[in-house]
Amino acid sequence: MAGIQIERLTKRFGAVIAVRDLSLEIRDREFVTLLGPSGCGKTTLLRLIAGFMSPDEGVIRVGATTLSTPAGVVPPERRGMGMVFQNYAVWPHRTVYQNVAFGLEVRKVGRAETRARVARVLELVNLAGLERRYPSELSGGQQQRVALARSLVVEPGILLLDEPLSNLDAKLRERMRWELKELQRRTGITFVYVTHDQSEAMALSDRIAVMHGGEIMQLGEPRAVYTRPANRIVADFMGLVNLIPGRVIRAAGDDSLVAVGGEHPIAARSRRARSAGRRCRWRSAPRASA
């Protein structure tokens, strides 16, 4: 079981509050994306989950085990998680094989089994045959897969990914997205994925947590977050949503009506207008196309 419970987590850096009283429950085998602009606290949250930082307040639990409290933190090396970094962090002085086998060496897995498992995972990420290469002889996409294979080979219950696709070119990013999703389906690992790219989040996630100022603005399925943003920050960030100034004609909950446009206003449906006659901003709900 590798669900993650985060309760009332706060992390400060001096006067800056990077994560603010944040609670989140990630289910086993779920693909959850932390989405937000840079500085929203998403990477800090990921590093708190990994155990590279200790929280100032709050608790992080995996299953029944408490991993992080302000009083103490289980170090990263004893959490049994995997992590893929934005810059891949593939070790340049080790071959592909040595990179991938490292986690198994640490776990004192026997030679024959190591070889078999490395071969299997390299097969999984389409790198078979490149075992003896050094990272400098690989393309960006291939290095990315080495980083993935290195995390997957130890069969972690949870895989943390920090903007793993942002250094790839558009075409490759597209393909790796699909492969990541496939991989998650096949392995059944819980993925916590950090990105600032909302289309990536839409394509990959079971649920998206949109973050801003260290807080979760909205948590939900991709389509729900996209079509029914909880507030303007989320709407702005999800993009493709138009905010048009208008005036409320009829305030009647789900069945409200708003006049939008300048000289020749048109009536538009609204789901939650407050009171008739007030100025407002009408949000055009996009068709769910993604």
Partner 1 sequence: MAGSVLALAVLVVLPLTFLVWGSVNTDGHLTLAHFRDAVSSRLYTQALRNSLILGISTAVLSVAIGLPLAWAVSRTNVPGKPFIHLTAIVSYLTPPFLTAIAFVNLFSPRAGLVNRFVRDVLGMPALTFDVFSMAGLILVTVPHTFPFVYLLAASALESVDASMEESAQILGASRWRTVAAVTGPLVAPAILSGALVAFVNAIALFGSQAIVGLPGRVFTLPTRIYALFDYPPQYGLASALSLIFVALTVAALYLQRRYLARRSYVTLGGKGNRPQLVDLGPARWGVFAFCVGVFAVAVAAPYLTLLAVSVSKSWGLQFWQNLTLRHYHFVLFEYDVTRRAIWNSLILASATATLTVLLGSLVSWLDLRTALRGRKLLDYVSLIPLGLPGIVVAVALIQFWLRVPLPIYGTLLIILLAYTGRYVPLGVRSANAAFRQIDPALEETARVTGAGWLRTFRSVTLPLARPGLFAGWLLVFVPALQELSASVLLFSSGSITLAVAVYNLYETGALGPVAALAIVTMLIITAAIALATRLGRGRAAGAVSRAERGEVTQ
Burial of 145 (0-12, 13-18, 19+ CB in 10 A): buried
Rounded least distance, CB 92 to partner 1, Å: 4
Which of 145, 150, 207, 283 contacts partner 1 by CB under 8 A?
150
* Separation of alpha carbons 261 and 244, rounded Å: 7
- Please pick, from the candidates 8, 107, 120, 271, the single residue that binds partner 1 as defined by CB under 8 A: 107
The window from 18-26, 77-85, 266-274, 280-288 that contacts partner 1 (CB under 8 A) reads 77-85
Q: Which 199-228 residues touch partner 1, going by CB under 8 A?
A: none
Smallest distance, partner 1 to C-beta of residue 250, A: 53
For position 152 contacting partner 1 by CB under 8 A, the verdict is no
**Measured in Å, how far apart are the chain's first and last C-alpha atoms?**
31
Contact between 103 and partner 1 per CB under 8 A: yes
Shortest Å, Cβ 280 to partner 1:
43
Per CB under 8 A, 92 contacts partner 1: yes
**Torsion angle of C-alpha atoms 148, 150, 152, 153, degrees rounded to 10:** 150
Task: Say whether residue 110 binds partner 1 (CB under 8 A).
Answer: no
- Shortest approach of partner 1 to residue 233 CB, angstroms? 27
Judged by CB under 8 A, the residue of 80, 213, 220, 286 near partner 1 is: 80
Q: Are 6 and 49 in contact (CB under 8 A)?
A: yes
* Per-position x/- string for 153-192, each x denoting binding to partner 1 as judged by CB under 8 A, each - no binding: -x-----x--------------------------------
Least distance in Å: CB of 85 to partner 1? 4
128 binds partner 1, rule: CB under 8 A? no
Question: Distance between CA atoms of 127 and 109, rounded to whole angstroms?
Answer: 22
138: contact with partner 1 by CB under 8 A: no
Q: How far is the CB of 165 from partner 1 (least distance, A)?
A: 16
Measuring CA to CA, which residue among 84, 277, 91, 42 is closest to residue 191? 84
Q: Judged by CB under 8 A, does residue 65 bind partner 1?
A: no
Q: Would you say how long the chain is, in residues?
A: 290
Nearest to 184 by CA among 161, 166, 210: 161
Query: Applying CB under 8 A, does 91 fall inside the site for partner 1?
Result: yes
Q: Is 81 in the site for partner 1 (CB under 8 A)?
A: yes
Residues near partner 1 (CB under 8 A) are 50, 52, 75-83, 85-87, 89, 91-93, 102-103, 106-107, 136, 147, 150-151, 154, 160
